Amino acid sequence: MQRPENIIAGAAIAVIIAGCLFIIAPFLSAVLWAVIVCFSTWGAYERLYRLAGGRSNVAAGIMTLLLAAVLIGPFIVVGTSLGDNVEKLTQAFDRFVASDFHQPPAWVANLPLVGAKLDAYWRSVEIDSIKITEYAKKVAAPVSKWVLDAGLAFGTGLLHLTLSVLTAYFIYRDGTAMATRLHAGMGRIAGARAHHLLAVAGNTVKGVVYGILGAALAQGILAGLGYWIAGLPGPFLLGLLTCFLALVPVGPPLIWVPATLWLFNQGDVGWAVFMGLWGFFGISGIDNVVKPYLIAEGSALPFILVILGVLGGLLAFGVIGVFLGPTLLAVGYVLLKDWTRTDRRDIPAAIPAPGA
């Protein structure tokens, strides 16, 4: 039978823990993302730490500035010009639906072999095209309003992302001590398997961040560059949307294919061909080259978990959840597979603590 003072002490500890969780709950997504980013980039921090002569404050400050440039910089560029980008996209859409696009451009009939047939077929669907035009005009205004409303959520996500970058400074600076305490605490909870579980979680985090998120970032940058070169309105906003959709397989074509069609409709055939080739071989092609290379350290995440991670993370944590959701699901998925494995002979070595 437990003594009364032990029960009181246990209850007091439970109340303190619950209070701490309640206080940190609004910022939990930012803190988790900071931990994930710091762990994934710890190797770069250690190199800076050695170059800085062992001064952790200097190395942590440089890493924090680099993270701010990579993670927050694009959002600031898009955010400061969001209204202008939305206005340009809306105007472009209005010009598209107001144009006589049920009549084929003159260059269609001049295409070799199929030009005459394609021109005749295009003209034959004139009635349906007019209906599509009328429907598009009705949809244009609600879509524009939705984009502007999404800007408010975008601002909240930017605030959480900024907080995560600031938190990263302290994690870099005190990461070695934190890792030592984590290993000790996990040893008390999970016993001999603690280091193995940490190794599995760590490798999975790196695989997801380097593979899924790294490839999405590369596709977003490449897409934004292509949209800007082709002269599309709102290239930074379109590039950011492509980056988000790159987290989902077959997502980027939802942006660059309509962009290519819009250029064709405007009569910019050369730029339309460029955009189509850039999108197919560059934006979408990089997914088949970069992602397998970057994800080599981790485990492949099933397609359904990627979808659930993106959508569930967005609903649970906001904009930052687009990145956080797949990462957390990947860690949980791999840990569950490892926990239910019957053959324990291939347990890998323990993951080294940062700075070890």
Q: Which residue has the tokens 């956080």?
A: 324
Closest CA to 339 of 351, 349, 347: 347
CB 325 within 8 A of CB 317: yes
Q: DSSP 3-state assignment of 252?
A: coil
Average pLDDT over residues 208-212: 75
pLDDT surpasses 70 at 300: no
Give the pLDDT of residue 168.
Answer: 92
Distance CA 225, CA 272 (A): 15
pLDDT confidence bin for 227, thresholds 50/70/90? very high
Give the pLDDT of residue 351.
Answer: 43
Distances (CA, A) of 222 to 226, 235, 274, 281: 6, 11, 13, 11
Distances (CA, A) of 56 to 152, 165, 179, 297, 356: 37, 16, 15, 27, 15
Give the pLDDT of residue 350.
Answer: 44
* Dihedral in degrees, nearest 10, Cα atoms 353, 327, 223, 69: -40
Give the pLDDT of residue 346.
Answer: 47
Distance CA 24, CA 204 (A): 25
Q: Which residue has the higher pLDDT, 335 or 276?
A: 276
Q: Which residue has the higher pLDDT, 62 or 197?
A: 62
pLDDT surpasses 80 at 283: yes
Give the pLDDT of residue 266.
Answer: 76
Distance CA 203, CA 199 (A): 6
Q: Hey, how many other C-beta atoms are within 10 angstroms of the C-beta on 44?
A: 14
pLDDT surpasses 50 at 65: yes
pLDDT surpasses 50 at 127: no
pLDDT confidence bin for 70, thresholds 50/70/90? confident
Give the pLDDT of residue 348.
Answer: 46
Q: Which residue has the higher pLDDT, 166 or 107?
A: 166
Distances (CA, A) of 65 to 33, 40, 162, 193: 16, 16, 11, 37
Average pLDDT over residues 123-128: 55
**Mean pLDDT score across all residues of the chain:** 74
Average pLDDT over residues 324-349: 68
pLDDT confidence bin for 349, thresholds 50/70/90? very low
Q: Does the reported pTM lie above 0.85? A: no
